[in-house]
Amino acid sequence: MKNLLSISDLDRADLEGILDLAASFAEVQSRDIPKVPALRGKTVVLAFFEDSTRTRTSFDLAARRLSADVVNFSVASSATRKGESLRDTVETISAMGVDAIVVRHGSSGAPHRIARWTDAAVVNAGDGWHQHPTQALLDCFTICNKLGGLDGRKVAICGDIQHSRVARSNVEAFTKLGAEVVLIGPRTMLPPSLDGWPVKVEPDLDAVLPDIDVAYFLRIQQERLSEGLFPSIREYRVRYGLTTERAARLRPDALVMHPGPMNRGVEIDPEVAADPRAVVLEQVAAGVPVRMAVLYGLVGPGRFDPQDTEPQRQGVA
Amino acid sequence: MTTIAIRGGRVVDQLGERAVDVVVDDVTGTIVAMAETVEADATIDAEGCLILPGFVDLHVHLRQPGNEAAETIETGTRAAALGGYTAVVAMPNTTPCMDSAGVVEEVLAHGKVALCEVKPSAAITVGRMGEALAPMGELVDLGVRMFTDDGTGVQDAQLMRRALEYAGSLVVDDGTPIVLSQHCEVTALSQGGVMNEGAWSSRLGLGGQPAEAEELMVARDIALSRLTGVRVHLQHLSTAGSVALVRAAKAEGHPVTAEATPHHFTLTDAECASYDPVFKVHPPLRTAADVAAVKEGLVDGTIDAIATDHAPHTLDSKEQPFDEAPPGMLGLESAFALANTELDCTIPQLVNLLSTAPARIAGLSDRHGGPIEVGRAANLAVVDTEHRWTVDRNALASLSTNTPFHGREVRGKVRHTVLSGEPVVVDGRATR
């Protein structure tokens, strides 16, 4: 595996391999010196064409804890603003001799294009509405830690599915790991076609609440209001928000998840965000070991073989 | 006077098929004889080939003036000649826009020395902004017969009605028809869409344009043609619904004509899965069912003409993410081969789709579109319908390389093209 572009490129064994590796890196995190020399001498470029402090920081830490050299290529200093083509930009970065390029881009498919123009490993850190595979991996990691696995679990993803790379990645990752996924949201925020999606659609959030193991709420963006996708923030909260009343109807052992940053009082009430069932910070914490596993798998010694994770574990120790 | 005999081929046009040599004169630009025994100063071999009326493309972007890095009138018409075209209608979305006499005159001047006849179209509205009518009368006097805001449709139904009525009342000296050509897309519905809306756009996370964004304007313009009695030409039909609407309108006798592109009868939106903007085009590539409907419409005569919508773009502009890259793809040099390979129709039908019907729509029937007869203008395409070849983006005459057919094996090759008696393409090579 040269790149991590989409969860579509991974099968169950691949996902489990990365999660196993992430578990061993999570153990590294608990040490006094949470750093291993695994990627010493390797260079990781964080090419964020769209700003994201959280994801960039998480990748930055992950690469540093593997002892890689990290270079930030931020959009403000990038040449694409000067009319250079994306290919020129990528070939320029590539020519400096880098091992991995972590790409965040506002355009769906940009990492796929970039991967054709460089020999470096490309990690998709979120592209448009398309994919955010490391988010899906860290969400799976969190669920596995809390619930022991995804097999047979029921996950509801609620909100703006159409404009969500998190939803697209998670639908695939959750179902590949054995979960049932139900999508909830107004039709204006569902993809125009769900042909081939292994999901059910449920118009009524309240109908599924008592029944689910994981309630995953997506961030609602203000611009969707101006596009006329829903009438008001207030009405959105009433229909699709995880209010305290709704949270009371969730099972005691259910998980409440959110990719962040949360709009408290919109898709999730502040009291619910503070509920012990909400694992939002655990999700953030899982980001570092999961991204360590991905970077290690792609550019580490011997690279990542999902069929055989033992050598990597030895390499870590 | 130099006479050139095209020997050994079979002539196919609206009069039928016959084995006969065609002798053309490059000074008068006409066909001077059709017989085996006539002497000529030079000979072009057409053994095993068909001699057809030169093709006419209703929809070409030559990019001059304004974007000469992507294409020029010279390179675009060379590509056209290699594709068997003897006339192309140049779209007006140049920079500046062809909405005034000065720009149209510039295009006409370059067209005079080009490798095929360049018939300029002009914008319906000033700057293609959809707000005020362009000086149509003045442009008609310069020879413009097609008006279009191509690249965008005229959104305002009232303005479109006025444009039809105004154009319909213009008097043309030579009696050739004026036609308004519509890019059918209701932008309020297609806004933000960079590909066809459906299963693929949903999966790829790309904004979609629903088929209905096209069909609404097709339906509206059919209604406006009924209201005004003025002919509307519908550009690049891409959906099954559009084809059905045009079929019904023709059955009811409304004065509408339509075109379809080779890419819309060959490629589907599944191509977008590569995120390669070479597959980005407006209207977008649609589903397999739409492709089948467009083919059927071409074969049964619902769609009058094949038009390429040849839209060159520089490599740089296509080496961007899918949603940021400009829409459009090359078409001139592969159109005949794709039609010959993909459409289940006879050679006379192909001649009608590629030459006779578009010549009539463009007002060029006096010298293009056949029939091939003594005394007619010598605009001819000599083709080998069995020749197999592979499209190679690096072997095209166009300045740009954005063909979506790179690497595709096709059947049918243009061997020679004769423009007003001058062999501008001989054995697959441009002579100038």
* Residue A165: closest C-alpha in chain B: B205
For residues B374-395, give the mean pLDDT: 98
Query: B275 and chain A: CB distance < 8 Å anywhere?
Result: yes
Mean pLDDT of B162-181: 93
Answer whether residue A80 shows pLDDT above 70: no
Greatest Cα pair distance, chain A, in angstroms, is 56
Residue-level pLDDT at A147: 97
Q: Are residues A123 and A13 in the same domain?
A: yes
Best B196, B200, B319, B402 member to test A by mutation, with max A CBs in 10 Å, is: B319
Cβ–Cβ under 8 Å, residues B304 and B322: no
| A213/A156 Cα distance (integer angstroms) | 8
Cα separation, B341 vs B389, in Å, equals 11
pLDDT at A305 over 80: no
A110 with B203: Cβ contact below 8 A: no
Q: What is the number of domains present in chain A?
A: 2
Contacts of A263 (CB under 8 A, 6+ apart): A219, A220
Are residues A245 and A139 part of one domain? yes
What CATH code is carried by the domain that includes residue A295? 3.40.50.1370
What is the DSSP code string of A77-145?
G-GGGGT--HHHHHHHHHHTT-SEEEEEESSTTHHHHHHHT-SSEEEEEEETTTB-HHHHHHHHHHHHH
Closest-CA distance, A257 to chain B, in angstroms, reads 22
Chain B residues in contact with A165 (beta carbon < 8 A): 205
What CA–CA distance (Å, rounded) separates B55 from B336? 9
- Write the pLDDT tens digit of every residue in A206-252: 999 999 999 999 999 888 888 899 999 999 999 999 999 999 999 99
pLDDT digits (tens, 9 = 90+) for A163-206: 999 999 999 999 999 999 999 999 999 999 999 999 999 999 99
- pLDDT tens digits for range A38-78: 999 999 999 999 988 899 999 999 999 999 999 998 765 55
The answer, yes or no, to whether residue A312 has pLDDT greater than 70, is: no
ipTM: 0.92
CA distances to A96, A158, A250, B191, B251 from A235, in Å: 51, 15, 21, 26, 49
Distances (CA, A) of A22 to A278, A307, B106: 22, 15, 66
B372 phi and psi angles, rounded to 5 deg: -90, 100
| Angle CA B69–B420–B392, to nearest 5 | 40
Confidence of residue A1 (pLDDT cuts 50, 70, 90): confident
pTM for the model: 0.95
- pLDDT at A316 > cutoff 60: no
Residue B168, pLDDT > 50, answer yes
Tell me what the mean pLDDT of segment B6-10 comes to: 97
CB B202 to CB A195 under 8 A? Answer: yes
Whether residue A313 has pLDDT greater than 50: no
Structural domain includes residue A107: yes
Mean pLDDT to the nearest integer, B198-212: 98
| Chain A contact present for B191, CB below 8 A | no
Is residue B419 within a helix (H) or strand (E), and if so which, with residue range? strand B409-419
Nearest to B324 among A87, A107, A196 (CB): A107
Chain A contact for B342, CB < 8 A? no
Residue with tokens 């809306």: B197
Q: Which residue among the candidates A55, A134, A142, A309 is catalytic per the annotation? A: A55
- Clarify whether A35 is annotated catalytic: no
By the CB < 8 Å criterion, does B76 face chain A? Answer: no
Beta strands across the sheet bearing B305-306 = B146-148, B179-182, B232-234, B256-260, B305-306
Same domain for A119 and A11, yes or no, is yes
Question: With an 8 Å Cβ cutoff, are B205 and A194 in contact?
Answer: no
- Asked if B322 and A107 count as a contact pair (C-beta separation under 8 A), the reply is yes
Decide if B276 touches A, using CB distance below 8 A: yes
Q: Which residues of chain B neighbour A127 with C-beta distances below 8 Å? A: 205
Based on the domain organization, do A178 and A91 belong to the same domain? no
Instruction: Return the pLDDT at A301.
Output: 84
Residue A57 in any domain: the answer is yes
Question: In the prediction, which pLDDT does B36 show?
Answer: 78
B197 at A interface, C-beta within 8 A: yes
Do A122 and A163 belong together in one domain?
no
- Kindly state whether residue A308 falls inside one of the protein's structural domains: no
Partners of A224 on chain B (C-beta within 8 Å) are: none
Nearest Cα residue to A155 out of A167, A137, A138: A167
Q: Report the pLDDT averaged over residues B249-258.
A: 97
A100 shares its domain with A173: no
Asked if A18 and A123 sit in the same domain, the reply is yes
Tell me the two tokens of residue A2: 């040269």
Q: Which residue has the tokens 């969860």?
A: A7
Q: Are residues A151 and A247 in the same domain?
A: yes
Query: What burial letters (b/e) apply to B234-243, b meaning 16+ CB within 10 Å?
Result: bbbbbbbbbb
Which residues of chain B have a CB within 8 Å of the CB of A85?
Answer: 315-317, 319-320
Same domain? A139 vs A268: yes
pLDDT of residue A7 exceeding 60:
yes
A85 and A117 belong to one structural domain: yes
Does B275 contact A109 at a Cβ distance shorter than 8 Å?
yes
Residue A150: which domain range?
Answer: 133-282
Residues of A in contact with B317 (CB under 8 A): 85
B156 touches chain A (CB under 8 A): no
The residue from B309, B316, B366, B384 that is catalytic is: B309
In a domain, A212, yes or no: yes
Q: What does A41-68 look like in DSSP terms, one character per residue?
A: T-EEEEEESS--HHHHHHHHHHHHHTT-
Contacts of B326 (CB under 8 A, 6+ apart): B277, B280, B313, B317, B318
- Mean pLDDT, chain B, whole residue set: 97
Give yes or no for a cis peptide into B255 (omega within 30° of 0): no
A139 and A126 in one domain? no
Residues B247, B243: Cα–Cα separation, whole Å: 6
**DSSP 3-state of A209:** helix
Q: How far is B279 from chain A (nearest CA, A)?
A: 13
Top residue of A3, A9, A85 to mutate, by most chain B CBs within 10 Å, is A85
CA pair distance A246, A257, nearest whole angstrom: 14
Chain A interface with B: residues with Cβ < 8 Å: 85-88, 105, 107-110, 112-113, 127-131, 162, 165, 168, 191-197
With a cut of 50, say whether residue A308 has pLDDT above it. no
Taking residues B212-223, what's their average pLDDT? 98
Q: How many Å apart are CA A123 and CA A135, to the nearest integer?
A: 12
pLDDT, one tens digit per residue, over B12-33 is 999 999 999 999 999 999 999 9
pLDDT of A109 > 90? The answer is yes
Q: Is A307 within a domain?
A: no
Strands B10-13 and B50-53: parallel
- Rounded to a whole number of angstroms, the distance from the CA of B208 to the nearest CA of chain A is 8
Q: Which of A86, A91, A165 to mutate to test the interface with B (most CBs of B within 10 A)?
A: A86
Best to test chain A binding among B204, B206, B274 (most A CBs inside 10 Å): B204
Which pLDDT score is estimated for A303?
52
Residue with tokens 């964004």: B213
Residue B272, pLDDT above cutoff 70: yes
Six-digit token pair at B162? Answer: 């006025």
CB pairs below 8 Å between A and B: how many? 76
Residue B331 has pLDDT above 90, yes or no: yes
- Using an 8 Å Cβ cutoff, are B122 and B104 in contact? yes
Residue B319: list chain A partners with CB under 8 A: 85-88, 113
Catalytic residue among A2, A12, A35, A54: A54
Same domain, A183 and A60: no
pLDDT reported for residue A73: 87
- On whether residue A199 sits in a domain, the answer given is yes
Let me know if residue A15 belongs to a domain. yes
- Structural domain includes residue A140: yes
